[in-house]
Amino acid sequence: MPRHPDPLRKPQLLGEILDYLLDKSLASVSFRTIAQALDCSTYTLVYHFGSREQLLSEIVAAVSTRATVIDDLMRDSSNTIDRYFAGLEESWQWTLQPRNRQLQRLEFEAALIEALEPSTHTFSRSLFDTWLRIGREALASLGMKPAEAELEARLVVDTFYGIQYDFVLNGDAAPATRAFKEAMRIHRERIGALLPESVTG
């Protein structure tokens, strides 16, 4: 009778892999190098992750666990504009943590790999679509029209990624945070003109 994957062992392995990759590139990921670093067998990794592509996908998913937290914040039943911006602030504060800066670097690297191998990998595009959905649904729940919510969600996601790139590349939190605050001020003005007065007033 075949064994079933240990539900506790796989998350443990994934956490150890992320720790290993904090100062390394995704290009270095192979079952052999990971097995050597974690002092386990390649069989163990294949057993839990199947293929290198699946392992990369799980790494990117683990890197961006904040998506679930932000999604929950923005789905809060209060549906207020302050709750919406609290979710964006929460995500920015996640980015500023030193460990998470390195995890974000891995996410950017994964996106570049996917751009070169779009038929092999889909994880970065899926994550991008998740952020768009979170923003679009949050704005629609505030009363914004669907087409306007779609555009504003894309604008804020693209802007957020750009400021994250600044921080990942330069490592200077202060100017990146100032840019984030100013972007949020402008975003609040833009959506304030599109939302019902009962929401913004």
Asked if the model's pLDDT at residue 7 lies above 80, the reply is no
Domain boundaries, the chain: 9-61, 64-200
pLDDT digits (tens, 9 = 90+) for 95-151: 999 988 998 999 899 889 889 888 888 888 888 998 899 899 999 999 999 999 999
Q: Work out the average pLDDT over 187-201.
A: 82
Higher pLDDT, 162 or 198: 162
Continuous H helices in the chain: 9-21, 31-38, 42-49, 52-63, 66-74, 81-96, 98-116, 123-141, 146-170, 173-192, 197-200
CA 62 from centroid of its chain's CA atoms: 9
Please check whether residue 67 is in contact with residue 131, taking contact to mean a CB–CB distance below 8 angstroms: yes
pLDDT digits (tens, 9 = 90+) for 54-77: 888 888 888 777 666 666 666 664
Please check whether residue 35 is in contact with residue 45, taking contact to mean a CB–CB distance below 8 angstroms: yes
Q: Work out the average pLDDT over 2-14.
A: 75
Rounded to an integer, what distance in angstroms lies between the CA atom of residue 137 and that of residue 67?
14
Q: Would you state the pLDDT for residue 77?
A: 43
The closest of 133, 112, 4, 7 to 56, measured between CA atoms, is 112
Q: Would you state the pLDDT for residue 114?
A: 86
Rounded to an integer, what distance in angstroms lies between the CA atom of residue 105 and that of residue 110?
9
Q: What is the mean pLDDT of the chain?
A: 87
Please determine, looking at this structure, whether the domain spanning 9-61 carries the CATH number 3.40.50.720: no
Asked if the model's pLDDT at residue 3 lies above 60, the reply is no
Asked if the model's pLDDT at residue 194 lies above 60, the reply is yes
